[in-house]
Structure 1
Amino acid sequence: MIIDLSGRTALVTGSTQGIGRAIAAGLAGSGARVAVNGRRQESVDTAIARLREETGVDTFIAAVGDLTTEDGVREVTRAVPDVDILVNNLGIFGAADALDISDEEWRRYFEVNVLAAVRMIRAYLPAMKDRSFGRILNIASDSAVVIPAEMIHYGMSKTALLAVTRGFAKDAAGTGVTVNSLIAGPTHTGGVEDFVYELVDRDLPWDEAQRTFMAEHRPQSLLRRLIEPEEIANMAVYLSSAQASATTGGAVRVDGGYVDSILP
């Protein structure tokens, strides 16, 4: 299958590192003009420089703005007025004892992981419907389905994101716009390395720490390893393509078999 995104403009939120940066690279590699988003100009500029070096592509756009605020959304939409592909990747996670999570933390997780995506969809979906083409992809998590005891506030936010996806897919019904969630499994990023070492012995070498984490905290994984960001990006690129025109309202799994269920 040859995926050609030439002529398409994409925006990937929270794309200065990790899964977001890998998705930005994948979309650009398939021909899309890609806007890279982060809160600070410096981090966005650094990410774009690395992406240009890694991909050999020079079509990246800086889209600086804090999407947890309405002002930040306006800054980003001014930088990128129209997009064909919106990937809502921005998110936070972390371990916490369930009874110690404050009201403020519950609200923060909902604000960052859910409302930021809603704001971006509201900003870009109307024009997508008018053009009869658009791809909206919300990066969810296995934690939306298998709520982790050590971060139920994160799981809650990702479950809500699945509902947001399904609802906006219905709003876009029959318009040529698709709206999907991508359920990412435990993925190897810098932030996840820090998270792993919160739960296992910090003195362990990384390979051993990863194996211990998967065995003790994610034993359902059929891969028995962390997923690489590029593996998530491969599915994101497909769902952004014309070939994925009949996939909408879905929660597509790239979870390494972590969720012990036939569906979703």
Structure 2
Amino acid sequence: MDARRRRQPQRDLPRDPCGAPGDDDPTSRPHHHDLVGPRPDGWLLFVTAYATSKHGVIGLTRSLAAELGSQGYPGITVNAICPGYVRAGMGIRMQSTKSGPVAGTEIFERYYKRQVAQRRMIEPEEIAHVAVFLSLPESAGITGQALNVDGGFFMS
């Protein structure tokens, strides 16, 4: 057992917490696939981790809405707002690329705009308006929903 394994506490995990399954087994190399790697548009993304985290939020939203409703709390609603490419925060921050730092707005123009039905970034106020609407009595019948505010990204 090497030093890093001795330092690791024992965990009930389906794999070795110190490395990928079979990382010391040369026969597993032909079956190794990077979860992060070049994509046709030139990006390196943690696609699996990102998708998993977003699905977790949606699952939590639906489960919590169902639990609260079934336990006699019909006045409490639980919804998720799923923003698209927003002109704020990560949407405008400088991103590192192979050719150097690029503004998020430029990345949107180059790679994402053609995938969005409305061909534009979402403004922060649009997300805020959805949040306000969901807090109003008029939205009392909406619960357990994931509302996409993305300019039609998922439609394209």
TM-score, normalised to structure 2, is 0.60
The structure with the greater share of residues assigned to strand is: 1
Cα 1:243/1:223, change in 2 over 3 Å: same
Look up the SS of the partner of 2:92 in the other structure: helix
* C-alpha contact 2:82 2:150 (8 A) present in aligned 1: yes
Choose which of 82, 93, 98 in structure 1 pairs with 2:35: 98
Look up the SS of the partner of 2:152 in the other structure: coil
Q: Deviations over 1:160-210 (max 9, x none)?
A: 110000000001115211111111111122333235x32486577x5xx62
> Structure 1 CA distance, aligned partners of 2:147 and 2:131?
10
Root mean square deviation of aligned Cα: 2.9
Look up the SS of the partner of 1:253 in the other structure: strand
Counterpart for residue 170 of structure 1: 66
- Kindly state the Cα deviation for residue 246 of structure 1 after the two structures are TM-superposed: 0.5
1:187-202 equivalences under 5 Å are 187-194=86-93, 197-199=95-97
Give, as a single letter, the amino acid of the residue that structure 2 aligns with 1:198: S
Choose which of 236, 245, 254 in structure 1 pairs with 2:149: 254
Q: Deviations over 1:54-113 (max 9, x none)?
A: xxxxxxxxxxxxxxxxxxxxxxxxxxxxxxxxxxxxxxxxxxx7348xxxxxxxxxxxxx
1:124-139 equivalences under 5 Å are none
> Structure 1 CA distance, aligned partners of 2:130 and 2:122?
12
* C-alpha contact 2:85 2:122 (8 A) present in aligned 1: yes
The structure with the greater share of residues assigned to helix is: 1
Looking at both structures, which has the greater relative contact order when contacts are Cα pairs under 8 Å and sequence separation is at least 6? Answer: 2
Cα 1:162/1:203, change in 2 over 3 Å: closer
> Structure 2 CA distance, aligned partners of 1:252 and 1:184?
8
* C-alpha contact 2:87 2:105 (8 A) present in aligned 1: no
> Structure 1 CA distance, aligned partners of 2:120 and 2:100?
18
- Rg larger in 1 or in 2? 2
* C-alpha contact 1:214 1:221 (8 A) present in aligned 2: no
Unaligned 5+ residue runs, structure 2? Answer: 1-33, 38-42
* C-alpha contact 2:86 2:124 (8 A) present in aligned 1: yes
> Structure 1 CA distance, aligned partners of 2:132 and 2:100?
35
Give, as a single letter, the amino acid of the residue that structure 2 aligns with 1:248: T
Counterpart for residue 151 of structure 1: 46
Cα 1:199/1:214, change in 2 over 3 Å: farther
Give, as a single letter, the amino acid of the residue that structure 2 aligns with 1:172: L
Question: Is 1:230–2:125 an aligned residue pair?
Answer: yes
- Kindly state the Cα deviation for residue 212 of structure 1 after the two structures are TM-superposed: 4.8
Question: Is 1:183–2:82 an aligned residue pair?
Answer: yes
- Kindly state the Cα deviation for residue 149 of structure 1 after the two structures are TM-superposed: 6.9
Look up the SS of the partner of 1:179 in the other structure: coil
* C-alpha contact 1:98 1:149 (8 A) present in aligned 2: no
* C-alpha contact 1:227 1:256 (8 A) present in aligned 2: yes
Unaligned 5+ residue runs, structure 1? Answer: 1-96, 101-147
